A and B are shown apart, each in its own frame.
Chain A
């Protein structure tokens, strides 16, 4: 079951630069998308979400872009900080049926000094 895919298992970015994390989905019924950050030994922490009626949502340093025709979303972090180093999960749901989230496999972001 590969309905949500994060094709880059890892990403390294210098402090102060932009981090771009990507996510693709195959289920056209998904209409709500979320990004979570996860540190070791902790649960996923909600970062930002976007509904399919929008193509962009911004919250501070975090911006999520949604391209419905390409079934692609991305998370931009500007500027990247060392504390951003974590595993980032993309998740999606079909709000018409349930809030069940389908997660991607995650991308490990390393922000270097």
Chain B
């Protein structure tokens, strides 16, 4: 069964450094998402992306965050200057279409900011 793949599985970085989290969505899916889960908290929406542009973003997704689909297969999340509170599991997801269509998630990247 096709799946969403994310790399790396674990990323450790120092505060203030830039990180790029990578995702390969399911190939025939058109909608892409990033979610995060801080330890002990809910899974939270960050951003959705369709047709090479952001379609919706949450208040968490501030100017420090950006997303890109650089080559038609990868979907990346960049955090420009990481903060301690950015430490979380980051999940990429994709769906065939919007509306009544389930999101399929990758296994996540654990980001630890020290």
Contact = CB atoms under 8 A, between A and B. Distances in A.
Interface of A: 32, 34, 36, 41-46, 49, 51, 89, 91, 95, 97-106
B52 interface: no
Given A97-B56, A100-B33, A101-B103, 14 more contacts: A36-B105, A42-B107, A42-B108, A43-B106, A44-B43, A46-B103, A46-B104, A49-B102, A99-B101, A100-B45, A101-B35, A102-B45, A105-B41, A106-B42
A50 B67 CA distance: 30
B42 A43 contact: no
B interface bracket (residues with beta carbon within 8 Å of A): 20 to 34
Contacts of B105: 36, 43-46
Nearest to A96: B99
A90 B83 CA distance: 29
Contacts, number: 62
B89 to A, nearest CB: 8
Interface of B: 4, 6, 31, 33, 35, 41-45, 48, 55-56, 58, 91, 93, 95, 98-108
Given A43-B4, A44-B43, A51-B100, A99 B106 contact: no
A89 B39 CA distance: 15
At the interface, is chain A mostly helix, strand, loop or mixed? loop
Contact of B98 (A42, A99, A102, A105): A99
B38 to A, nearest CB: 12
Contacts of A45: 105
B4 A99 contact: no
A32 B4 contact: no
A99 B107 contact: no
B16 to A, nearest CB: 28
